[in-house]
């Protein structure tokens, strides 16, 4: 089986390569495919990308910027002077890797930059193992429609969506009558229980201390604001063909129940496991089979109790804003997502405070409804979504936050 990875040096990307290493070292085991990697794309971490390329013998590579091409070439030469690879950069590079003819593309870049390469892979007939949720948030209708037209599968990598996908196995996922609702679980992040006022004092360093998951910086901030859960509601709507009204977000601090589906007869099926992204990544690479693995099972007597509570959307209004955007649909989810990407970037640089993230998103969503330059469109084309995303980034950059 041939795979390509966008974002190979990140949290999901490196765990994907760990899974490939593990599957390829256990070739004889039942249902383990032998995986060949045909393309890798990363940003600026050329040290790691060079090591990945040489280890997995990958001859098609992409980096974020033109200067990284030289850095990567030098680093590969130092590791193995005889190793030759085609190296591209920027959007063209992401597209080259996406279109390299792999059976599965793992989309593990962050944010809207995943959209065009994901669509390119779909149009090329490549199945998608989707980690990059922002792609579905911004343009889910188009991505799902194109996937259906090109008979391409989108297998979720996000642990909650992988859980829902597994709970729905054997049931028609698009038969809305088959299930009553989805319970989408959330850890609650590092600031669970804090008030809006207390949150005004938290720093980027505090935000990086996620209690149960070790992830890239953007999703870690999104988890702390609960925007991640809002993005996941929209992701689930598109993946499973449901409305946001069919989804209930519940906080489950132990992160053992990864999500649940309630069926029309009153049964509720849950998927459980330790918080380990290698489990959903492995399933996305081997579906519909399950590969053997030595992943530790939860020690339930040690865990003792599994608890559930309602999210506090007064302290964490981003979840409310995302559901509002989901309800409006059209260009609003793309606008909200872009505003969030810009605000999270500013927060990580120390330019704005934690509560300013939600303030910026609210402002940009309100501006979009009044904008003559970028009016709200109910059924946007891809170009209109990309234009709305660009407008929202500029608008978010210009917001003055209260001191
Ligand atoms: N981490 C998780 O546990 C998790 C769970 C569920 C879903 N997700 C989703 O998966 C996606 C990836 O998250 P992550 O946590 O793995 O992020 P991450 O650790 O920040 O990794 C991001 C990857 O994107 C690359 N990248 C950055 N800028 C780029 C550019 N201009 N061109 C090409 N590549 C670029 C980075 O490369 P460099 O490092 O080389 O700069 C890195 O490989 C996100 O959409 C997230 O919401 C993540």
> Is residue 158 in contact with ligand 1, taking CB distance under 6 Å?
yes
Atom number, ligand 1, closest to the C-alpha of residue 94 = 33
Q: Distance between terminal CA atoms of the chain?
A: 54
Can you say whether the dihedral through the CA atoms of 59, 60, 66, 71 is positive or negative?
negative
Task: Establish whether the linkage from the previous residue to 45 is cis, with ω within 30° of 0.
Answer: no
Tell me yes or no: is domain 329-403 CATH 3.40.50.360.
Answer: no
Task: Return the structure tokens found at 382.
Answer: 């891809």
Alpha carbons 354 and 199: distance in angstroms, whole number: 7
Q: Does residue 41's CB lie within 6 angstroms of at least one atom of ligand 1?
A: yes
Reduced to 3 states, what is the DSSP secondary structure of residue 353?
coil
Dist. CA 344–CA 219, nearest whole Å: 9
43 lines ligand 1 (CB under 6 A): yes
**What distance lies between CA 264 and its chain's CA centroid?**
29
Task: State both tokens at 296.
Answer: 């530790």
Does domain 2-157 sit in CATH 3.40.50.720? yes
User: Radius of gyration (Cα) for the chain, nearest Å?
Assistant: 21
pLDDT 10s digit of each residue in the chain, 403 long? 999 999 999 999 999 999 999 999 987 776 677 999 999 999 999 999 999 999 999 999 999 999 999 999 999 999 999 999 999 999 999 999 999 999 999 999 999 999 999 999 999 999 999 999 999 999 999 999 999 999 999 999 999 999 999 999 755 555 666 789 999 999 999 999 999 999 999 999 999 998 888 899 999 999 999 999 999 999 999 999 999 999 999 999 999 999 999 999 999 999 999 999 999 999 999 999 999 899 999 999 999 999 999 999 999 999 999 999 999 999 999 999 999 999 999 999 999 999 999 999 999 999 999 999 999 999 999 999 999 999 999 999 988 888 6
State the Cα–Cα distance between residues 308 and 314, nearest whole angstrom.
18
- With a 6 A CB cut-off, is 213 part of the ligand 1 pocket? yes
Extents of the domains making up the chain: 2-157, 158-327, 329-403
| Fold matches, 2-157 and 329-403 | no
Whole-model pTM: value is 0.96
Ligand 1 centroid vs 49 CA: distance in angstroms? 13
| Backbone CA torsion sign across 158, 219, 365, 359 | positive
Number of the ligand 1 atom closest to the C-alpha atom of 219: 47
User: How far is CA 65 from each of CA 10, 43, 44, 290, 344, rounded to the nearest angstrom?
Assistant: 17, 8, 7, 38, 22
């Amino acid at each position: 089986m041939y795979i390509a990875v966008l974002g190979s040096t990140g949290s999901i990307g490196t765990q994907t390569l760990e899974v490939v290493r593990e599957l390829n070292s256990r070739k004889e085991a039942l249902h383990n495919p032998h995986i060949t990697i045909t393309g890798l794309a990363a940003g600026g971490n050329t040290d790691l990308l060079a090591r990945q390329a040489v280890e997995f013998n990958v001859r098609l590579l992409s980096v974020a910027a033109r200067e990284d091409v030289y850095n990567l070439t030098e680093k590969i030469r130092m590791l193995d002077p005889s190793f030759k690879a085609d190296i591209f950069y920027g959007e063209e590079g992401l597209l080259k890797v996406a279109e390299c003819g792999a059976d599965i593309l793992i989309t593990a870049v962050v944010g809207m930059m995943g959209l065009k390469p994901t669509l390119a892979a779909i149009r090329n007939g490549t199945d998608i193992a989707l980690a990059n949720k922002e792609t579905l948030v911004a343009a889910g209708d188009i991505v799902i429609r194109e996937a259906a037209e090109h008979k391409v599968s989108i297998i979720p990598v996000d642990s909650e969506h992988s859980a829902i996908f597994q709970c729905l196995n054997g049931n028609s996922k698009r038969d809305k009558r088959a299930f009553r609702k989805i319970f989408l679980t959330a850890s609650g992040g590092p600031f669970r229980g804090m008030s809006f006022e207390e949150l005004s004092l938290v720093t980027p360093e505090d935000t990086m201390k996620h209690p149960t998951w070790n992830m890239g910086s953007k999703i870690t901030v999104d988890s702390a604001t609960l925007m991640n859960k809002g993005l996941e509601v929209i992701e689930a709507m598109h993946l499973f063909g449901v409305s946001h009204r069919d989804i209930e977000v519940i906080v489950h601090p132990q992160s053992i129940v990864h999500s649940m589906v309630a069926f029309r007869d009153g049964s509720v099926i849950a998927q459980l496991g330790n918080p380990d992204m290698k489990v959903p990544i492995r399933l996305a690479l081997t579906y519909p089979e399950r590969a053997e693995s030595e992943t530790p099972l939860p020690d339930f007597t040690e865990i003792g109790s599994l608890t559930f509570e309602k999210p506090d959307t007064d302290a964490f209004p981003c979840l409310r804003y995302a559901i509002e955007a989901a309800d409006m649909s059209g260009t609003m989810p793309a606008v909200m997502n872009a505003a969030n990407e810009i605000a999270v970037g500013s927060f990580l640089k120390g330019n704005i405070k934690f509560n300013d993230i939600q303030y910026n998103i609210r402002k940009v969503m309100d501006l979009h409804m009044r904008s003559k330059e970028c009016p709200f469109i109910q059924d946007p084309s891809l170009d209109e979504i990309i234009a709305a995303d660009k407008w929202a980034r500029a608008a978010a950059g210009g917001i003055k936050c209260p001191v």
